[in-house]
């Protein structure tokens, strides 16, 4: 898939086909793309935990907070929960590169997964203690970003933002994501 099309297709998915698993081999392939990503000073400080087993997934799920704008929705129901996760661990004594490195790594993972037909959602709102316990975070690290992965169970409507950037669900329960237009994010260089 050409990169712009991949970017267009790569929406945050929060409802999955839970019965379709992803192999650990696939997750390792996505992490291998993140391994090759740029990072500050080439320090390669991030560590990654692939999670595919049901018993592990069910320990991670309760720690996650889904879709803050959707006040009436408590996250995916049983049957539509993610069948896999990748947890990104970052050093606690973090350098200022860490959030950037993590975002780039997560984007590489999400795009690699999308290219293979999977969907994903990056999650930064979670109970750190629960995740640390479930994931076996290495000494001196903390879980920084989680990527939920699986076969998409929903189709997202990408649309031009018209006064609001809040994502929402319509009467048919379809998830809409408003994006600003290109001209709205361009700052012309000073003459």
Ligand X SMILES: Cc1cc2nc3c(=O)[nH]c(=O)nc-3n(C[C@H](O)[C@H](O)[C@H](O)COP(=O)(O)O)c2cc1C
Residues forming the site for ligand X (CB under 6 A): 11-12, 14, 65-67, 121-125, 156, 167, 177
Rounded Cα–Cα distance for residues 109 and 118 (Å): 11
Phi/psi-derived region of residue 79, left when phi > 0, alpha when psi is between -120 and 50, beta in every other case: left
- Comparison of 27 and 106: residue with beta carbon closer to ligand X: 106
Q: Are 70 and 169 in contact (CB under 8 A)?
A: yes
Q: Are 90 and 98 in contact (CB under 8 A)?
A: yes
- Comparison of 6 and 177: residue with beta carbon closer to ligand X: 177
Q: Are 15 and 80 in contact (CB under 8 A)?
A: yes
3-state secondary structure of 9: helix
3-state secondary structure of 3: helix
**Beta carbon of residue 189, minimum distance to ligand X (angstroms, whole number):** 27
**Beta carbon of residue 124, minimum distance to ligand X (angstroms, whole number):** 4
- Comparison of 18 and 188: residue with beta carbon closer to ligand X: 18
**Beta carbon of residue 41, minimum distance to ligand X (angstroms, whole number):** 22
- Comparison of 12 and 33: residue with beta carbon closer to ligand X: 12
Rounded Cα–Cα distance for residues 28 and 23 (Å): 9
**Beta carbon of residue 156, minimum distance to ligand X (angstroms, whole number):** 6
């Amino acid at each position: 898939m050409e990169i712009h099309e991949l970017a267009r297709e790569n929406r945050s998915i929060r409802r999955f086909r839970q019965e379709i698993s992803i192999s650990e081999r696939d997750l390792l392939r996505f992490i291998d793309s993140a391994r090759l990503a740029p990072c500050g000073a080439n320090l390669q400080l991030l560590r990654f935990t692939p999670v595919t087993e049901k018993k592990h997934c069910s320990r991670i799920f309760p720690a996650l907070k889904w879709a803050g704008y959707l006040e009436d929705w408590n996250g995916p129901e049983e049957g539509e929960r993610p069948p896999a996760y990748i947890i990104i661990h970052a050093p606690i004594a973090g350098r200022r590169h860490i959030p950037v490195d993590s975002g780039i790594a997560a984007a590489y993972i999400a795009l690699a997964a999308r290219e293979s037909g999977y969907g994903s959602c990056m999650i930064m709102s979670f109970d750190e203690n629960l995740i640390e316990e479930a994931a076996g975070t290495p000494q001196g690290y903390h879980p920084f970003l989680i990527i939920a992965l699986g076969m998409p169970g929903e189709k997202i409507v990408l649309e031009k933002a018209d006064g609001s950037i809040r994502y929402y669900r319509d009467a048919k329960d379809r998830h809409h994501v408003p994006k600003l237009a290109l001209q709205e994010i361009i700052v012309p260089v000073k003459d």
